[in-house]
Structure 1
Amino acid sequence: MKIQFDCYPEGKKKAVTLSYDDGREHDRQFIEIINRYGIRGTFHLNSGLLGKLGYIDRLEARELYAGHEISGHTATHPFLTRCPMDRIVDEIQQDRRELELLATYPVKGMSYPHGDWNIQIASMLPVLGIEYARTTNSHGRFDMPDDFWAWSPTCHHRDMLECGQRFMDNQIRHPAMSLLYVWGHSYEFHNQQNWDQLERFCEMVGGRSEVWYATNIEVVLYRNALRDLRFSVSGQWVHNPSAMSVWFSADGDIVEVKPGQVLQLC
């Protein structure tokens, strides 16, 4: 039996996720726009800067980011490769601790401030409870990452229209589980006075029944749940030990395995 991990929830083949940094006041307008199109994303916040001039206030964070993901960006936004290792630990853990009080759920992801990181820093993150970390190294592709602690996006939003068009037109080298991952800062739309670009992008990729709109952590958790499926030697049975349904193809047919289910495939 040919088993392929090639489906997102409900058997969909495409996913879109956004990743925006810093928690600036322009997140309000950004979220109002993407919410209208059912697009979801992750917002990487510096807990030590919230409430300062130009930044989102702590008291509004939970409501503002509802339906999206609050994620880490370190407490004070330093260049991590210039920090002592113990200070890096403190920056990440302090940020998580404060953000979890606002979010009321575990904060398990981050983006590297200034896009500044190295292998030594990335190797620390699993011990600190971080399950993914986004870089700023855009690659223009639509594939899933090999390493979630060095997760590079498809594009910065300056290229979102071109990449979004290729994505929706199926100009994709690897069509199985294609992912459009856009990153940026909401204040850039304000500075460049091009909010219309975001509107056009949302009109292009939003509200599509064939697309899964996810936060960064949802992509991570779903991919991990797929990898945790337990198959018999014959491929006749599969057990899903996770707490979420997962989908894959078996001899070309799309199969759903529900949480905790042992399913006979043939």
Structure 2
Amino acid sequence: MHAQLEHIHHCFPGGRHKALTFSYDDGKIEDRRLVELFNRHGLKASFNLNGAKFGRDHRIDAHELADLYAGHEVAAHSLTHPTLTRCPPELLVQQLFDDRRRLEDLLGRAVRGFAYPNGKHDQRLHALLPALGFAYARTTGATRSFELPQQLFEWQPSCHHNEGLLELGQEFLARDKSQYLDLFYVWGHSFDFERDGNWSLIERFAQQASGHAEIWYASNIEIVDYLACLQRLQFTADCRHVHNPSAQALWLRVDTLQAGERRSAMFEVAGGATLSLF
């Protein structure tokens, strides 16, 4: 008897249904301690930097960049941290593109992420950023939820770390609805912990959130790129076969009915591969 298709679910790498990511701004020297903490617990983050401010105002030095943030994403945060919505278009291009170029010169790889200085953004920026090679931009709003981004250039995180991080983290860990893709996105500034005297907060959260087999620990750009690849999957009309035109391996969960019995199977669709699903 042929199997009857019920559902096909997109999954994060490894068949996971949860992801955790962080985003930290300004590149202050407290990033050294925060990166060490993240590395120790196997967490990944995106660090948003101002290319004209290295070595100033308690910021890290340019020569630290590649080694300090190895394994994490370095993203742009404008050249000098102005409120971009008050800038003329000529200055916007300089602030965005020159920051990207300076960071890329130091890293030797593409910089495609962005975080709005002071959280301010408008339609001009939403249109300009992709034209300058950026793939997403983060705001400072908070959703208090675990939704995937609907507008990549108005990407709202779940919360700032001072906004009930441990409680929201417990809610995230307790969720067990594998039909959803849940994303917990935390943002802030590393100097917040020094100023507020609460390094113990992020240490406790790192201990709470690390080491869970069902969670994908990823940077912002890894999540953006993976979700884009999922959207490029090519299914036959009856969904029995799927082709992955991307280089990255992708994961699917397929639910079928066979002889009245519901079955679930996990598939890894390798880059360039075509698979039969049921």
Q: Do they fold alike, i.e. is TM over 0.5?
A: yes
1:238–1:262 contact (8 Å) kept in structure 2 = yes
Give the number of the structure whose alpha-carbon radius of gyration is greater.
2
* Offset at residue 210 of structure 1 (A): 1.6
Q: Secondary structure at the match of 1:241?
A: coil
Give the SS at the match of 1:134.
Answer: coil
Select which of 28, 35, 59 maps to 2:32. 28
> Is this contact kept in 2: 1:43–1:70, CA < 8 A?
yes
After TM superposition, the runs of 4+ consecutive aligned structure 1 residues lying more than 2 A away are 1-6
Q: 2:168 maps to what in 1?
A: 163
One-letter amino acid matched to 2:250: V
Point out where structure 2 has 5 or more consecutive residues left out of the alignment: 256-263
How far the C-alpha of 1:2 sits from its partner, in A, is 4.0
1:11 aligns with 2:23: no
Contact 2:9–2:254 (8 Å) recurs in 1: no
How far does the alpha carbon of each residue in 1:105-150 deviate from its partner, in whole angstroms, 9 at most, with x for none? 1000100000010122112211111100000010100010111111
| 1:72 pairs with one of 69, 73, 76 | 76
- Name the structure 2 match of 1:145: 149
Matched AA of 1:7: C
Contact kept, 8 Å, 1:5 with 1:226, in 2: the verdict is: no
Q: How does 1:1-150 map to 2 (within 5 A)?
A: 1-150=5-154
Task: Say which of 184, 193, 206 aligns to 1:189.
Answer: 193
Gaps of 5+ in 1: none
TM-score, length basis structure 1: 0.96
Of stretches 191-200 and 241-250 in structure 1, the one that deviates more from structure 2 is 241-250
Q: Distance in 2 between matches of 1:5 and 1:98?
A: 40
TM-score (norm 2): 0.92
Where 2:185 maps in the other structure, the secondary structure is strand
Amino acid at match of 2:21: T
Partners of 1:74 and 1:3 lie apart in 2 by 43
Counterpart in the other structure of 1:176: 180
Deviation at 1:163, TM superposition (A): 1.1
Question: Percent identity over the alignment?
Answer: 42
1-side partners of 2:148 and 2:61: how far apart? 34
Residue type of the alignment partner of 2:239? G
Match of 1:255 in 2: 267
Please give the secondary structure, in 1, of the residue aligned with 2:222.
helix
**Alpha-carbon distance in 1 for matches of 2:7, 2:232:** 14
The alignment partner of 2:166 has SS state of helix
User: 1:258, CA displacement in angstroms?
Assistant: 0.3
**Aligned residue pairs: how many?**
265
Alpha carbons 1:239, 1:260 under 8 Å: kept: yes
Task: Quickly say closer, same or farther: Cα 1:2–1:104, change in 2 above 3 A.
Answer: farther
Whether contact under 8 Å (1:3, 1:248) holds in the other structure is no
- For 1:104 and 1:3, locate their aligned partners in 2 and report how far apart those are by CA, in whole Å: 42
| Structural RMSD (CA) | 1.4
